[in-house]
Structure 1
């Protein structure tokens, strides 16, 4: 015990030294970001992308704006594919050996984000250390390193293709973690990298139920499933009876608001909750104050940020602004240039600034309609394609529709709830529902994972709307007219609830 306590003190002293550096970029955000930009341009000026867009000739942000285009994944994909095939110096110096696989693109089931050595060390791993540093600074009496951290990633299998590896970001991170993290973390690397979820879940429960866990790290929806399994396995009334020293949950990936009360009940005591904003493309934000609902924008991770005001968002004429021009309360689409070789890359998220000194943000949504209540990243393109396939197979025609999440309650899985107004009803409603669900699985690997064995998502709940329902609803809101559209997807239930109520009358 004395050795563990000494280790805890040493680690806490070491990581708190980072606080001074964080305070420096909080005090000098613009200078920090300018340094990041020109350092990245210098490193990549001899790459294929750097030569094409004249990185050597860029001497100001204005040059960067004018010479380098803003791109989405589809537009940047040829460079990624070339890098995946083992070519060097494509958009970042050297050969990129690892790619994080995730969903959310328009034309592909999965996208592959390059993870360079620099982005792994100077962004993702640095952020992990900062998370602990910030927490330790806010809670000097923490006992994190006296106990274990229970981590829960997604599908954690790595695959090889063209002499490069690809898989979930969690798999890449776990594969490359330093030893000192491994000895303080459960489950083991072997268990974490198991590919079949049900088998892995049983192994995790078996491995962690007798451990002294002090912190949790993961996506709220998946972690809830694991904690419920632990209670079933142990027969305990709440998680505090299993892990009496649990003090914090580091969470990200989806909104925590629908889960907060559920976590309070299942844990059985008040603990700390810290939100993180990370993605395959990079690690962007960390909640830096206890009890806050905003995150500090991390400015020295090798990521240069730009922002597109959403009221000016035009896919045919994208105009971004640098950090020094953002305003409070406005929604901005996020554009990043990274030390993984992404350049002026539109990640699809929108944020709003809650503070400009320092720069703190909240995630406000996506640049497209979406549902991401469980990490499924369901985009309107997926839904439109799936509905068309279901309609074609059952001779149906849809006039209007909307969809929303059904959040997890009392140990039950969540779902997506749909309200569809048909011009022509399906010849077989059950077949329509099945084809819709199966097509979404085929289009979106994250949705497919959440639907696996109904563990996170049950089959979709589909209601038939009475005639003229959406017209009546839009009329009641004063939203009739060509400029007003029915919200197709929403990440909460603000639209579907009044529609369902109106549908009863």
Structure 2
């Protein structure tokens, strides 16, 4: 593919040209006039003039766009907004989705991924069957109730509603089912519809795809999904780490010809994709309407953060993404964190979020560490984990008390009495192996006690999400937090479920 080849070979030139195009396009907007945008503004001058903004800091401008004011952050009046609760707080986030963002970011990257998949696996004839995609829903823009054409919703719903005709012909289920708002009904009706479809590709979040596949198998009365869709060969997955789900999908789809490719997309844009079938590293998409900068970990809490440009990143260091986009997000701190695994070309792995880690005692456990430990522990006891979350156990007033981590684990089976002792031991040992700070705090139990684990009934996390009105779509369970609110709420949900069943 010539475009992907160019961004592999000339990444800095591609990004410099893109920045010029973004600045030139937005120079007449309120934001562009405020900061003196012009096409020939250098990256260094752009960084000096424009502040780094979180969502909360940029929100006053985004609210103007939501209310219909034109030419604020990007030319025109965007009609569509990707709505997300994020995973850092409970407030809904509204991200403008401009025509340029759809065409030159989301759809362009989707075409690239489809082209790569057909190139990798030509014998599977993927495009001759259906792609089963799961998404959210959209509704009227609450800031413009008088304008029914202005909509907000899950980014997947925004994308599906406006797909080109040729792409819509390739996917299933029909929009009327795909965009249903109530998830229990959506899963049931989609499962019934796709039973007779020639599904060859799956696309969506692993968590919800598992729910759908199980329902399809149950309705078909089949031992596994290969008896329903004999030509199923590919799962394009994203939003959550796939490691903990890999064994579960192997059980659901026990076919050696099944392949898995990862995409890295969010409400803010389509950032990267897996361009090598045998490597989980993700190629950073540098000409898809997004200009990148990267904030080193030692500045995540800085009141005046100083991101570095792409040319200055280093291998294997943690960075937070800072993006400027053709949807009008300028030096926007996404909250996601990555590390570079290659600089020629630029490839990354997702490590977590700036506010999603455990560092109550200096242990600096990131989501990448936790996912690796959960996978190893699951393999040790022969059970698959569906969901989990973890939080600190704080020092008590007793001078002999130690800190620790408390984990809530939901297994993908109702098997009784999982071996939590072995699971916890392997989890602990793996964290020590992949994180030297954690290992130091665990040495002789000086600072951290062994992990405390709870196994909760299947469906607990789903019930917790439903209780918060966040069932389905892009909503995710926070894996690691330095506060206990989520963990205790999940435990309370589990206790209510047990009481109701007794």
SS at match of 1:306: strand
SS at match of 1:141: helix
1:96-123 Cα shifts (integer Å, max 9, x gaps): 1110000126565210000000001100
Mapped pair 1:114 → 2:117: no
In the alignment, the residues of structure 2 paired with residue 376 and residue 84 of structure 1 have an alpha-carbon distance, to the nearest angstrom, of 34
In the alignment, the residues of structure 1 paired with residue 166 and residue 473 of structure 2 have an alpha-carbon distance, to the nearest angstrom, of 32
Aligned to 1:198: 184
Q: Which runs of 5+ in 1 are unaligned?
A: 1-18, 388-398, 418-436, 461-485, 494-505
| Residues 408 and 20 of structure 1: CA distance in aligned 2, closer, same or farther (over 3 Å) | farther
Give the superposition deviation at 1:180. 1.2
Aligned to 2:409: 406
In the alignment, the residues of structure 1 paired with residue 122 and residue 13 of structure 2 have an alpha-carbon distance, to the nearest angstrom, of 31
1:369-414 Cα shifts (integer Å, max 9, x gaps): 259889999899xx99xx9xxxxxxxxxxx97745452542379xx
- 1:285-324 matches, within 5 Å, as 285-324=272-311
Residue of 223, 239, 242 corresponding to 1:256 = 242
Give the superposition deviation at 1:451. 13
| Residues 489 and 210 of structure 1: CA distance in aligned 2, closer, same or farther (over 3 Å) | farther
Mapped pair 1:82 → 2:64: yes
Mapped pair 1:63 → 2:45: yes
| Residues 197 and 350 of structure 1: CA distance in aligned 2, closer, same or farther (over 3 Å) | same
Aligned to 2:264: 277
Q: CA RMSD in A?
A: 3.5
Give the superposition deviation at 1:55. 1.0
SS at match of 1:26: helix
Aligned to 2:174: 188
SS at match of 1:101: strand
Whether the 8 Å contact between 1:110 and 1:445 is mirrored in structure 2 is no
1:215-262 Cα shifts (integer Å, max 9, x gaps): 100101100010011111111001111110011000000000001011
1:11-48 Cα shifts (integer Å, max 9, x gaps): xxxxxxxx111101110000000011111001001111
| Residues 442 and 75 of structure 1: CA distance in aligned 2, closer, same or farther (over 3 Å) | farther
Aligned to 1:351: 338
Aligned to 1:160: 141
In the alignment, the residues of structure 1 paired with residue 166 and residue 260 of structure 2 have an alpha-carbon distance, to the nearest angstrom, of 24
Q: How many residues align?
A: 405
SS at match of 2:38: helix
In the alignment, the residues of structure 2 paired with residue 332 and residue 32 of structure 1 have an alpha-carbon distance, to the nearest angstrom, of 21
Residue of 339, 348, 366 corresponding to 2:326 = 339
Residue of 313, 317, 328 corresponding to 1:330 = 317
Mapped pair 1:51 → 2:54: no
Mapped pair 1:361 → 2:355: no
Instruction: Tell which deviates more after alignment, 268-277 or 50-59.
Output: 50-59
- 1:472-491 matches, within 5 Å, as 488=482
1:446-495 Cα shifts (integer Å, max 9, x gaps): 4x55999xxx98xx9xxxxxxxxxxxxxxxxxxxxxxxxx97379xx9xx
- 1:208-219 matches, within 5 Å, as 208-219=194-205
Aligned to 1:15: none
Mapped pair 1:137 → 2:119: yes
Give the superposition deviation at 1:292. 1.4
Whether the 8 Å contact between 1:108 and 1:443 is mirrored in structure 2 is no
In the alignment, the residues of structure 2 paired with residue 244 and residue 95 of structure 1 have an alpha-carbon distance, to the nearest angstrom, of 46
Give the superposition deviation at 1:125. 0.8
In the alignment, the residues of structure 2 paired with residue 86 and residue 118 of structure 1 have an alpha-carbon distance, to the nearest angstrom, of 18
In the alignment, the residues of structure 2 paired with residue 22 and residue 77 of structure 1 have an alpha-carbon distance, to the nearest angstrom, of 34
Whether the 8 Å contact between 1:109 and 1:445 is mirrored in structure 2 is no
Whether the 8 Å contact between 2:100 and 2:326 is mirrored in structure 1 is yes
| Residues 48 and 216 of structure 1: CA distance in aligned 2, closer, same or farther (over 3 Å) | same
Give the superposition deviation at 1:441. 5.9
Whether the 8 Å contact between 1:272 and 1:291 is mirrored in structure 2 is no
Whether the 8 Å contact between 2:137 and 2:179 is mirrored in structure 1 is yes
| Residues 120 and 451 of structure 1: CA distance in aligned 2, closer, same or farther (over 3 Å) | closer
Give the superposition deviation at 1:74. 0.2
